[in-house]
Copies of this chain bind each other. A is one copy, B any other.
Amino acid sequence: MHIMRIEDEIKQPVFKDEYQKGYINLIYTAGWLQQQQAAAFREFDLTLPQFNILRILRGQHPKPATVNLLIERMLDKTSNASRIVDKLEAKGLVTRTVCPSNRRAVDIRITEAALELLLRMDTEVLSKQHNLQTLTVEEAVQLNALLDKIRD
């Protein structure tokens, strides 16, 4: 049993109560998970938000997505999908065309190159994604219930 408690991770010996500890613990653990993932993406020259947008586009494929749809499905709704798409377009991973039926909107499509890239990444990334596998299924269910309740 070599679990590292949050107290030790950030060298703060005492929390006011379990709520404050939970708050810090949640932020810290989420950041920790994201860094694990980001490291796996670096060798494919993708950042985490870029990867997430590509996954949404693959889910839509072969239908296009608009910027609005990307924002709706993104975890961080206030981030700037438009500029992340810029970077993906520059790498040839997505295309942008004005939507014919609504010229305010932009149809964004994933390219073949990006689909192949995702395919190569799938196995590699999945193997590293499962830090949560340290939990039993029951514990994972419990975690989801607690998190949903926090945002109530």
Among the stretches A4-12, A80-88, A94-102, A104-112, the one at the interface with B is: A4-12
Known: A11-B73, A19-B133, A142-B142. A149 touches B3 (CB 8 A): yes
Assembled-state Cα–Cα distance A2/B151 (Å): 10
Query: Are A147 and B6 touching (Cβ within 8 A)?
Result: yes
State how many copies of this chain the complex holds. 2
A78 closest partner in B (C-beta): B35
Query: Are A23 and B19 touching (Cβ within 8 A)?
Result: no
* 7 sample A-B contacts, Cβ–Cβ < 8 Å, listed by A number: A22-B143, A23-B131, A25-B144, A26-B30, A131-B150, A135-B146, A135-B150
* Residues in A lying within 8 Å of B, measured CB to CB: 2-6, 9-12, 17-35, 72-76, 78, 129-135, 137, 139-144, 146-152
